[in-house]
Amino acid sequence: MGCYDCCVRCLGAVPYASLAATLLCYAGMALFCVSAHQALAYTEELVEMHFARNIQDYVVLASFIKYFQYVIYGLASFFFLFGILLLAEGFYSTSAVKQKFGEFRSTQCGRCLSLTFVIVTYILAVIWLAVFAVSAIPVYFFYNMEDTCHTINILSETTTSINQHAWVCMDARQYGLLPWHAMPGKACGMTLASICKSSEFFWTYDLYIAAFAGAGVTLLALFLYLVATTYNYAVLRFLGRKAMRC
């Protein structure tokens, strides 16, 4: 076998769908984990400085942020290992398809393992669909906050009366970030406008958008994984039946 034939054989054994899904999964998870981790830290600072005077009012939020940051570490590790396993399963299945290059055959254990990956990937895709939806909530909150600030700025430019925009508020309690007894729990008028002009607000908003985009990329990777693993299982099952007939 010449060098050209060897290269063609190696390239033919590469599971391109699984490889693309792995790269998307790693990129999406890296973007989601890094952005969400830092955005949560900035959120705690914003709430502490502008929306709650008593630490007891946001102790639940602070605890949630702390524990979810640990969850992010676990998610990063899990998806790193899961991507390696699915990529290895893709190489295994592709080698089975390319059995004409050797004596490799599909086994019952291999088909069972491939079916397990299909089921696990499907469950992860459903769970991550919920994560993708939940990650849109802070983006929606900060978008409304920025839009409210824009309204305040327009009112401040078109009228000299403070009362025209002093009652335009953003209430964090309405979004479940703080309990209803939290004080002040909201920011109004030019105070809210000054918050929107702070660097913490811009960084937090941009990071939540990045986390939302990362969750979307990861979800796309899981759907691509699901297609690839389902196809691989179907091929291995076909090869198994073919071997039984032989």
- Using the 8-state DSSP alphabet, how is residue 169 labeled? E
Structure confidence at residue 246 (pLDDT): 41
Report if pTM > 0.85: no
> Which residues have a Cβ under 8 Å from the Cβ of 27 and sit 6 or more positions away?
214, 217
Spatial separation of the C-alpha atoms in residues 27 and 22, rounded to whole Å: 8
H or E element at residue 186: strand 186-188
- CA-based R_g, the chain, Å: 26
The Cα 74–Cα 82 span in angstroms is 12
pLDDT of residue 172: 79
> What pLDDT is stored for residue 233 in this prediction?
76
**Nearest 10 degrees: Cα torsion 200, 205, 209, 211:** 40
Q: Which region, left, alpha or beta, applies to residue 158 given φ > 0 means left and ψ of -120 to 50 means alpha?
A: alpha
d(CA 115, CA 48): 48
CA atoms in the 13 A half-sphere facing the CB of 24:
19
**CA gap 234, 245 in Å, rounded:** 17
HSE-CB at 101 with a 13 A cutoff on CA atoms is: 15
**In angstroms, rounded to a whole number, what is the distance separating the alpha carbons of residues 39 and 58?**
16
Q: What is the pLDDT of residue 12?
A: 53
Q: Measure the CA–CA gap between 141 and 163, rounded to whole angstroms.
A: 25
Within 10 Å of residue 122's Cβ, how many Cβ atoms? 16
For 84-118, the three-class secondary structure string (H helix, E strand, C coil) is HHHHHHHHHHHHHHCHHHCCCCCCHHHHHHHHHHH
Looking only at the bridges linking them, the beta strands covering 169-171 and 186-188 are: antiparallel
Q: What is the pLDDT along the chain (246 residues), one digit of tens a residue?
A: 556 555 555 555 566 777 888 899 999 999 999 999 999 988 888 888 888 777 777 788 888 888 988 999 999 999 999 888 888 877 766 655 555 434 445 556 666 777 888 898 999 999 999 999 999 988 998 898 888 888 877 777 766 555 556 677 788 787 777 777 778 878 887 788 888 888 888 899 999 999 999 999 999 999 998 888 887 777 767 655 554 444
Beta bridge partners of 171: 186
What confidence score (pLDDT) does residue 163 get?
A: 59
pLDDT at 240: 55
Alpha-carbon span 155 to 193, nearest angstrom: 11
> Rounded to 5 degrees, what angle do the CA atoms 66, 68, 179 make?
70
